[in-house]
Each structure stands twice: as structure tokens, then as C-alpha cells.
Amino acid sequence: MRLRNVKGSREQIAASEYAIKEAEKIKGHWAEYLKDNKPLQLEIGMGKGRFLMELAEKNPDIHYIGIEKYSSVLVRALEKMEENPLENLHFIRMDAEEIVNIFEKGEVDQIYLNFSDPWPKERHAKRRLTSRQFLNRYQNILKERGRVIFKTDNRELFDFSLEEIKEAGWTLEKCTFDLHHSEYVEGNIMTEYEAKFVAQGKPICMLQIFLDCD
């Protein structure tokens, strides 16, 4: 999702209390920064933030951080937060490739990847958020047995992800090719993209994985 350049979005992010600046300085000190030891969960590629806002509202005892590459997208989430502030939700504007510079091993409990960009060209495979390169980054920030939960409408990307997961030695805990007609639909929170695809009748794939040991 790339919105047209929203004028002043960088300035808006710089001024927002919900957007964390110089996050690399907090690496290793997130519990201190967030002022408690509650679990910390991330959504990488959060778009306009609908999913995280609903999740954060439902779970006040969990901290959530949304990561988004584009300022023009992130400002939409910040605007929604101005209307409905949530103490346990923050955002970082960054490319997820840099994630190991922000979090220390063991600081993150769970990672959500929702409707990640498919990068269909083979030469771009390592940019996919479920590539072995990204799985390795997640391994380096998650606590032991920390999870990654991934949803997509894109069957090719889902099949690729299953291969990468196997290759990287993660354990597949849940897997469905049709989330909305499966046992896992209970408690599911829809993202912006998910709502659109479900309305079109497209099946949604979902998987949940964890790493047993390093």
C-alpha cells in the first residue's frame, strides 16, 4: 500500500507523541522505556493500523508497536490515534530490514505479518517479509518460543513462506488455507486488506510458527 505522498507527513510524524523517534537508542531497554515488563508484540507492515488498534484496545496488558516503511501511510494511523488514543500502542517509521538494530534478542514476544507485499519477482524474494533472511532477523529479536503469525490472500506467497519456514527450522503450530472457514477464525481481528479480500470472497491463508531452540 503506497499512498501518494502526503504533504507534511514527515513533520507530522516528528511531532507525534505516538511515533517513537531514534528507536535504535532504546535497543536493549524496551521494558524501561515502556515502564513495565508487559509483553511486547509487533506488527510489521501495519499500514493504516486498523488491526493493531483493535488488538491494543482488547489487550491493555500487552504493548504493541506498529512498524511501517512509508510516512504517508503511517500518518493515517497517527490521525486515528489522535481521535482514539491508546496507551499501549506505539509506531515506528522504518524499514523492517533494520529491525535487529531496534530490538535485542528476547525483547519481542510475538510478530504479526498481515498481507505483506508479495514481491513476485524471484530476484526480490529476500524482500518478502517471510523470506529466510527476515525469519533470521525475527529469530534475533524474539524471546524463546516467540511466535510469528502471518495472514495473506496470496497463495504463492503463502506456499513460499511454508518452504522458507521449513528451511529455517521453525515449527508450524497452525496452518490454514481458508481462515474464515476454519477453527482458527474465532477471535480473528480483520485488517484493512483482509476486510477487502473477504468482501471479494477470497480465501485467507494463515500460519503460526515458533522456534524451539537456537
C-alpha dist (Å) from residue 120 to 26, 133, 153, 155, 197 = 34, 16, 14, 11, 19
Provide the strand spans (E) within the chain: 40-44, 63-68, 89-93, 108-114, 142-152, 171-176, 205-210
**Which of 16, 23, 45, 146 contacts ligand SAM by CB under 6 A?**
45
Q: Name residues whose C-beta falls within 8 Å of residue 19's C-beta, 6 or more positions apart in sequence.
A: 13, 74, 78, 90, 91, 92, 93
Active-site annotation holder among 61, 95, 117, 212: 117
- Name the one range near ligand SAM by CB under 6 A: 12-20, 80-88, 94-102, 178-186: 94-102
Q: Which stretch binds ligand SAM (CB under 6 A): 18-26, 168-176, 185-193, 204-212?
A: 185-193
User: Of 64, 91, 170, 193, which lies in the binding site for ligand SAM, with binding defined by CB under 6 A?
Assistant: 193
Q: Judged by CB under 6 A, does residue 104 bind ligand SAM?
A: no
Does position 68 interact with ligand SAM (CB under 6 A)? The reply is yes
> CA distances (Å), 188 to each of 26, 53, 109, in order?
31, 14, 19
For the question of residue 117 being annotated catalytic, the response is: yes
Query: Residue 125 Cβ, how far from ligand SAM at the closest point, in Å?
Result: 13
Between 44 and 145, CB nearer to ligand SAM: 44
Q: How far is CA 16 from CA 3, 51, 197, in A?
A: 20, 20, 31
User: Residue with CB nearest ligand SAM?
Assistant: 45
Distance (Å, rounded) from C-alpha 116 to C-alpha 94?
A: 15
Q: What angle do CA 62, 162, 63 make, to 5 degrees?
A: 10
By CB under 6 A, residue 47 contacts ligand SAM: yes
- Choose one: 14-22, 30-38, 45-53, 204-212; the region binding ligand SAM (CB under 6 A): 45-53
CB 187 within 8 A of CB 193: no
> Is 192 near ligand SAM (CB under 6 A)?
yes
117 belongs to the binding site for ligand SAM (CB under 6 A): yes
Tell me which of 42, 53, 65, 67 binds ligand SAM, using CB under 6 A: 67
CB 102 within 8 A of CB 26: yes
Interface ranges with ligand SAM (CB under 6 A): 1, 44-47, 67-70, 73, 95-97, 114-117, 191-194
Task: Give the residue numbers marked as catalytic.
Answer: 117
